[in-house]
Amino acid sequence: MYKKVLLLTSALLLVGCSQKEGNCHLNEKSNFEQLFTKDEIYHKALVNTQKAQLMASFETKALLTATYLNPVFEYRKCKKRFKNDMRDAEYFFIGVFISNSEKHEFNTKGYSLTLNGLKPLEIKKLDKNDPLRYEMPMVDNWSTYYKVKFKKTSKNNFSLIFGNDRFGKDYLNFSKGQKPLFESLKDLNRQHN
């Protein structure tokens, strides 16, 4: 009796964990399998995310999280499913929380955001149900989120500068095409084995 139940449970697990091929020939994993596999898009976004904080009198006045989207969308190979071509400019997913503010707009009340000193070309405020919010790390319910477009830079290293007239500036340094340290160490380890 126990053997039959065990065999039936094993068969159901295998069928439930099988991969389905969805649109664009991407393997979609079952709900059960998703619990045990790494989400590559989320991981890539997390590696390219940084936080800036403006403070006065030991109190946080503004908090900004920035995800450099170009490497994240470069990873995606399916044009039908993800229609964001990131080659024409530098794109960032920006989350802003400003204390004592209802709207949390980073481009008002003396706040500014620049890339190597250049102002954004386009700022798009994202709805609460925007799909990009569900894929990005460090998203909360009290911040306001934007997709920000800057002029394409030829430099490999650049700084996103979040500032305010009263509270100073914070610099977030990003780089193009550079592998995170732990990925570089994995490659180095493979070469020696």
pLDDT at 80 over 70: no
Query: Is 110 or 164 the better-scoring residue by pLDDT?
Result: 164
Q: How far apart are CA 70 and CA 88, in angstroms?
A: 10
pLDDT at 118: 94
Query: Is 139 or 11 the better-scoring residue by pLDDT?
Result: 139
Average pLDDT over residues 66-82: 69
- Closest listed residue to residue 116, CA positions, set 95, 84, 92: 92
Average pLDDT over residues 77-94: 70
Residues 174 and 50 sit within 8 Å (Cβ to Cβ) = yes
pLDDT at 38: 62
pLDDT at 36: 63
Name the average pLDDT for the chain: 78
Number of Cβ within 10 Å of residue 159's Cβ equals 14
Domain edges within the chain: 33-176
Query: Is 20 or 140 the better-scoring residue by pLDDT?
Result: 140
Query: Is 136 or 77 the better-scoring residue by pLDDT?
Result: 136
Percent of the chain with pLDDT over 70: 65
pLDDT at 33: 63
State the number of CA atoms in the 13 A half-sphere of 99 facing the CB.
Answer: 10
**Beta strand 89-98 with 59-68: parallel, antiparallel or unpaired?**
antiparallel
- Closest listed residue to residue 171, CA positions, set 154, 158, 184, 156: 158
pLDDT at 31: 63
Percent of the chain with pLDDT over 90: 36
pLDDT at 5: 67
Q: How far apart are CA 13 and CA 27, in angstroms?
A: 18
Q: Let me know if 161 is exposed, middle or buried by CB neighbors in 10 A (0-12, 13-18, 19+).
A: middle
Average pLDDT over residues 120-148: 91
